[in-house]
Amino acid sequence: MTDSTRFDEALARIDAANAEDPTLTVVNGVAFPHELHYARRMTEWLGRLEPDASEALRLAVRCQHLCRWTIPRSQFPMTRLGYLQWRSTSARFHADKAAEILRAVGFEDDAVARVQSLVRKERIKTDPEAQTLEDVACLVFLEDELADFARRHDEDKVVRILQKTWGKMSKRGHEAALALGLSSAERELLRKALAHLPVPVVPPVVPAGPPPAAGSIP
């Protein structure tokens, strides 16, 4: 199997696994398994942020939430500690599932270990690729998930989460976030979140683009 064939087969198997997600997301009137849509949006954002990303990073973003629905948040205490336990358990699970797929299509141990490290976001402040993955995840949240999150939680919690999200991102990630076509309500939430900065940032008004067509993302 050639390198390109092996990579394509890995993506196909990752997508097949995520396609089993029973939770659906409707995009342009078409329902997609949620984690399949999420994984493809991660790939799309990586292409926008870093078009020449390494093979390992391209695989890692596709595996970021691999089969996440099998470890529901409800299995852990609804506390801060329970949340952290769920996050760390999920990261290890995603990395292990990724390793199974990559080894099955012929990736060598070093390549598998690198993807696993990225999926687990190890050394995020010293590994540029891990930081890029974090930026991508934050941008997908802001563009695709913020509106729904804001509907389900009180404003104070949303603002706190946005502050934490901003703190995880690099300068490049911040620039991309400020260029998003957020709604006026989303932009106001982000403004409140960023008002705590030494130099407050006011998100500009950016025309919203068309919603993503998940089925067209490779």
Boundary of a domain, candidates 96, 120, 144: 120
- The number of distinct structural domains making up the chain is 2
**Residue 218: inside a domain:** no
Quick one: 151 and 181 in the same domain? yes
Q: Give the Cα separation of 175 and 45 in Å (integer).
A: 14
Question: In this structure, are 190 and 100 located in the same domain?
Answer: no
Residue-level pLDDT at 208:
60
Q: Is the sign of the CA dihedral 83, 84, 87, 89 positive or negative?
A: negative
Answer whether 0.95 is exceeded by the pTM.
no
Domain check: are 98 and 161 in the same one? Answer: no
My answer on whether 109 and 152 are in the same domain is: no
Residues 35 and 107 grouped into a single domain: yes
In terms of domains, do 93 and 3 share one? yes
Same domain? 74 vs 109: yes
217 domain-assigned: no
* 10-residue averages of pLDDT along the chain (218 residues): 86 97 91 96 96 97 96 94 94 96 96 96 92 97 94 94 94 94 93 84 67 52
**Residue 74 contacts residue 169 (beta carbons within 8 Å):** no
Mark out the alpha helices in the chain (DSSP H runs): 3-18, 34-49, 55-62, 80-104, 109-119, 128-140, 146-152, 155-168, 171-178, 184-194
Residue 216 lies in a domain: no
Based on the fold, state whether residues 20 and 85 are members of the same structural domain.
yes
- Say whether both 41 and 115 belong to one domain: yes
Q: Domain containing 165: what range? A: 128-211
Do 111 and 133 sit in the same domain of this protein?
no
